[in-house]
């Protein structure tokens, strides 16, 4: 398929700049894969579409304040986005302006609380940094780092937790699994009260989820690796739901990619951890995902390709056209879809 097959037009004013308040007040577009019908609801209505015995699968990754602003020693301003650890004291990172930061250059953040030495470029276009800091790195990042919100969100966050799910607990992501931003503790309680199991797995969202697709033939695109873990307890809970006739409802594309990375041909989930490069495009056979909660994604992205694989490209783009016409809000802080 061609990259242009996943394009659509969105008015700029429909790119959400702030989250819905309360979170579960976002709109919910419900799409049936069986007949293509659409229903227009509010996210807090989600439990009405879940059945006793289902399992709701949530990605519990936690976004770290990985955006750093500093200076080159003796030079100009620099911005760094830490992506993931890379050996003792090392991190893979993005640097701007990268061309002006030579290998061996020293970068200084917040009066020297944190320093870095720039390493070589990787094949993926990132850089390796060697960090040194005064104290625990995680504590230092909490003090001087910023939440790495997408560039299309131009308004400053009112609170850092706005870009964090209420169930986030495992540090490691550089972007939020945004479909989960709509949940509140009360809504999760309402889901469980219907006899639906909530199951956590982890995929640390990294550059791979959001890297632009540049190949016109999408089959030529390669995903960057992202780290995941499905614990034995999570695998047992998901398999038990399937055994009792329940559906596996994945919250977000990251949950889908994790589930499908560890699923057998019969849909059985195995406990595992490691790195996945799974790229889901139309024609993919889903083994473990029965329903999907997702946001509205940017055109020409791997995220839109995954959703199109799950529900059909023409059907998804038709739903997007309806959402645009009816004024839905798009992208990370935008409204949601439930695909059944």
- What pLDDT digit, counting tens, does each position of 93-137 carry? 999 987 888 999 999 998 889 999 999 988 778 899 999 988 889
pTM listed for this prediction: 0.94
Percent of the chain residues topping a pLDDT of 70: 99
| Secondary structure class of 56 (helix, strand, coil) | strand
pLDDT tens, position by position, 151-172: 899 998 999 899 999 999 999 9
| Secondary structure class of 72 (helix, strand, coil) | strand
Reported as half-sphere exposure (CB side, CA atoms, 13 A), residue 145 has a value of: 23
pLDDT, mean of residues 8-32:
97
For residue 219, pLDDT over 70 is answered with yes
CB 226 within 8 A of CB 276: yes
pLDDT score, position 298: 96
Residue 266 CA from chain centroid, whole number: 26
The boundaries of every CATH 2.40.10.240 domain in the chain are 67-144
For residue 87, pLDDT over 90 is answered with no
- Alpha-carbon distance of 174 to 161, in angstroms, equals 14
The structure tokens listed for 191 are 């889901």
Of 160, 161, 166, the C-alpha closest to 183 is: 166
Classify domain 67-144 at the CATH superfamily level.
Answer: QueA-like (2.40.10.240)
Residue 314's pLDDT band (cuts 50, 70, 90): very high
For residue 12, pLDDT over 70 is answered with yes
CB 249 within 8 A of CB 54: yes
pLDDT tens, position by position, 186-203: 999 999 999 999 999 999
pLDDT tens, position by position, 53-63: 999 999 999 99
pLDDT score, position 228: 98
CB 96 within 8 A of CB 79: yes
pLDDT, mean of residues 290-297:
98
pLDDT score, position 111: 80
Of 254, 308, 339, the C-alpha closest to 28 is: 339
pLDDT, mean of residues 14-42:
97
CB 19 within 8 A of CB 162: yes
CA distances (Å), origin 201, targets 15, 51, 70, 196, 232: 29, 21, 34, 16, 10
CATH architecture label of 3-63+159-339: 3-Layer(aba) Sandwich (3.40)
Residue 210's pLDDT band (cuts 50, 70, 90): low
- Alpha-carbon distance of 292 to 315, in angstroms, equals 15
Percent of the chain residues topping a pLDDT of 90: 86
End-to-end CA distance of the chain: 24
């Amino acid at each position: 398929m061609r990259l242009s097959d996943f394009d659509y037009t969105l008015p700029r004013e429909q790119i959400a700049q702030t989250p819905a308040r309360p979170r579960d007040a976002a709109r919910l577009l419900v799409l049936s894969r069986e007949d293509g019908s659409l229903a227009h609801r509010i996210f807090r209505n989600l439990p009405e579409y879940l059945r006793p015995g289902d399992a709701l699968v949530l990605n519990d990754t936690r976004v770290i304040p990985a955006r750093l602003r500093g200076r080159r020693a003796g030079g100009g301003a620099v911005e760094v986005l830490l992506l993931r650890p890379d050996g003792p004291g090392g991190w893979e990172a993005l640097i701007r302006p990268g061309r002006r930061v030579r290998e061996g250059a020293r970068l200084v953040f917040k009066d020297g609380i944190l320093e870095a030495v720039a390493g070589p470029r990787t094949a993926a276009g990132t850089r390796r940094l060697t960090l040194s800091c005064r104290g625990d790195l995680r504590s230092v990042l909490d003090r001087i780092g910023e939440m790495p919100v997408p560039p299309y969100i131009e308004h400053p966050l009112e609170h850092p937790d706005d870009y964090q799910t209420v169930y986030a607990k495992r540090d490691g992501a550089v972007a939020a699994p945004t479909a989960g931003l709509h949940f509140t503790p009360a809504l999760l309680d309402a889901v469980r009260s219907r006899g639906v199991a909530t199951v956590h797995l982890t995929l640390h969202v990294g550059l791979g989820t959001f890297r632009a697709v540049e190949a016109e033939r999408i089959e030529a695109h390669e995903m960057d690796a992202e780290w995941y873990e499905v614990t034995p307890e999570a695998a047992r809970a998901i398999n038990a739901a399937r055994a009792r006739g329940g559906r596996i409802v994945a919250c977000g594309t990251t949950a889908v990619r994790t589930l499908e990375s560890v699923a057998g041909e019969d849909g059985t989930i195995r406990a595992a951890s490691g790195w996945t490069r799974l790229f889901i495009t139309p024609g993919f056979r889903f083994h473990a995902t029965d329903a999907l909660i997702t946001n509205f994604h940017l055109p020409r992205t791997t995220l839109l390709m995954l959703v199109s694989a799950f529900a059909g490209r023409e059907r998804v783009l038709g739903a997007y056209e309806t959402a645009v016409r009816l004024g839905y809000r798009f992208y990370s802080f935008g409204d949601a879809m439930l695909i059944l």
